[in-house]
Amino acid sequence: MGVEGMNMKKGISPVIATVIIVAVAIAIAIATAAWIMNVWGTISGGIEMLKIYPDSKIYDNGTVVLHIKNDGSATAIVKKIEVVGIGVDPNPTGDTHIDAGKDGIIKAKVGQCIAGAFYLVKVYTESGNVYQAHIQCIPS
């Protein structure tokens, strides 16, 4: 056998090499994006994410009692409560500052509602977010 027959070098195919390079590039991009999001969340102080629980109530005398949880990573500051079609309370009381991971009770006073009817309640926060839920009016 000659020298030309002994050349048995084998490498990976160009297709497999391309797949490996693309996979490595994607992994680096994902890691970089996660790092940037972590840094951004630290710089911006996190975000609020409010959840209005179903045990919240509107009484027919106009009193609104909301059970709210903050699932975000920043304190939420509730600025006003609106019950669409009834009224707005620009100065709610109770736990208007809800820390991350905590829940609280917020009370507001709006116009009277009709017992048994459902109303859209909107919660406005200092950061400009609006959270809403449909809540039934009950007799007081």
Decide: 101 and 121 in contact? Cβ < 8 Å. Answer: no
Tens of pLDDT along 57-111?
999 999 999 999 999 888 999 999 999 999 999 999 999 999 999 999 999 999 9
Residue 46 pLDDT exceeds 90: no
Give me the mean pLDDT over the 15-27 stretch.
Answer: 93
For the full predicted model, state whether its pTM sits above 0.75: no
Residue 50 pLDDT exceeds 90: yes
Specify the pLDDT at position 14.
Answer: 87
Give me the mean pLDDT over the 2-22 stretch.
Answer: 75
Three-class SS of 86-134: CEEECCCEECCEECCCCEEEEEEECCCCCCCCEEEEEEEECCCCEEEEE
Would you place residue 8 in the very low, low, confident or very high pLDDT band (cuts 50, 70, 90)? low
